[in-house]
């Protein structure tokens, strides 16, 4: 075997780094997972960053395709009656978590100072007999902040079940999460069992009514919401208000009606590191419930748009 052309050292676990800038906005996008490794404004983190020499510790701003959140027992049945079994990536809860795209290397399609477009050709594999191509474009604007567009096309021959989500952790700017506030534009809360799999939907109430600004002190969240409400531009928001007077915020357009919000109280080693504000096209176990599930026919495309900024 001729090893003369093999690299002498391994690349960084997060792969090539694409560094973007516009005004005082800075972002770094990774080759592995097409993740936002860091995003800051005026030197202040909007997202909780991670080091390029480590794998993303908590799905940091990952693209969650072809499904977000949890899939019960990693098993689902397609419209043709075939049952498929995926590896259980969350063994403690016996679920397949956050899709398949997080640990692939995405190819650069277009690179500019303020924007980058990456693409993943997701191959058929164990438990996933479909072929999808996903393209994500990250762009910074000096006034508006970060905008993300994701388009997925079914390049295979069968109709594929599909959902997409994103996993940014909003940064408290060095403060304790207990000293921050949260606000979420959503009217219905998803109830879950002890595996965090959905059991129903209820009107927001009590600790799950985040339609007005409330303190995060003592609030333990790892929940989904639907029924997104929107501003005059058609955007639904999740906001983390911080003691420094700034608000780290994520928005989603009408292509996504679901949110997952997590305060990381039970993530060992990362407790309350920030607030996950996850826009999603569907919530957990959509492959089985069918709720808000997209069925991509051969040649069909699906597009979503979201973004973030520091207010």
pLDDT digits (tens, 9 = 90+) for 132-161: 999 999 999 999 999 999 999 999 999 999
Residue ranges in the chain assigned as alpha helix (H):
286-289
Q: Are 31 and 55 in contact (CB under 8 A)?
A: no
Structural domains in the chain plus CATH codes: 17-310 (2.70.98.10)
Give the span between the Cα atoms of 263 and 178, in whole angstroms.
10
Q: Which residues of the chain have pLDDT under 70?
A: 1-10
Helix (H, G, I), strand (E, B) or coil at 273: coil
Give the closest residue to 275 by CA, choosing from 294, 248, 244, 298.
248
* pLDDT for the residue 1: 46
pTM for this entry: 0.94
* pLDDT for the residue 11: 76
pLDDT digits (tens, 9 = 90+) for 270-291: 889 999 999 999 999 999 999 9
Give the closest residue to 168 by CA, choosing from 76, 256, 269, 278.
278
Q: What are the residues facing 237 on neighbouring strands?
A: 251
Give the span between the Cα atoms of 302 and 65, in whole angstroms.
12
What is the Cβ-side half-sphere exposure of residue 260, based on CA atoms within 13 angstroms? 26
* pLDDT for the residue 268: 86
Q: Are 282 and 292 in contact (CB under 8 A)?
A: yes
* pLDDT for the residue 169: 98
Give the span between the Cα atoms of 163 and 290, in whole angstroms.
11
What is the Cβ-side half-sphere exposure of residue 259, based on CA atoms within 13 angstroms? 35
* pLDDT for the residue 286: 98
Preceding peptide of 40 cis, ω within 30°: no
* pLDDT for the residue 8: 55
Helix (H, G, I), strand (E, B) or coil at 30: strand
DSSP 176: -
* pLDDT for the residue 5: 65
* pLDDT for the residue 269: 87
């Amino acid at each position: 075997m001729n090893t003369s052309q093999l690299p002498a050292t391994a690349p960084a676990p997060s792969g090539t780094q694409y560094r973007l800038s516009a005004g005082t906005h800075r972002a770094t996008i990774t080759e592995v997972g097409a993740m936002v490794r860091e995003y800051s404004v005026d030197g202040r983190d909007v997202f909780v960053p991670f080091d390029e020499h480590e794998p993303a510790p908590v799905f940091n701003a990952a693209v969650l395709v072809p499904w977000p959140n949890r899939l019960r027992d990693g098993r689902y049945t397609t419209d043709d009656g075939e049952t498929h079994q995926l590896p259980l990536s969350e063994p403690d809860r016996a679920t397949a978590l956050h899709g398949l795209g997080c640990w692939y290397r995405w190819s650069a399609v277009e690179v500019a100072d303020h924007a980058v477009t990456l693409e993943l050709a997701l191959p058929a594999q164990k438990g996933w007999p479909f072929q999808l191509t996903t393209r994500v474009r990250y762009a910074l604007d000096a006034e508006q902040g970060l905008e993300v567009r994701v388009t997925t096309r079914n390049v295979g021959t069968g109709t594929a079940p599909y959902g997409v989500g994103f996993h940014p952790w909003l940064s408290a700017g060095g403060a304790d999460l207990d000293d921050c506030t949260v606000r979420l534009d959503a009217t219905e809360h998803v109830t879950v069992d002890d595996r965090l799999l959905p059991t129903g939907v209820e009107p927001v109430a009590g600790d799950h009514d985040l339609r007005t600004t409330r303190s995060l002190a003592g609030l333990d969240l790892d929940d989904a919401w639907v029924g997104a409400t929107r501003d005059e531009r058609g955007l639904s928001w999740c906001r983390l208000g911080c003691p420094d007077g700034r608000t780290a915020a994520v928005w989603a357009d009408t292509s996504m009606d679901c949110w997952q919000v997590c305060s990381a109280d039970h993530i060992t080693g990362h407790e309350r590191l920030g607030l996950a504000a996850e826009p999603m096209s569907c919530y957990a176990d959509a492959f089985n419930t069918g709720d808000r599930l997209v069925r991509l026919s051969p040649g069909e495309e699906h597009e979503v748009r979201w973004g973030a900024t520091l207010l």
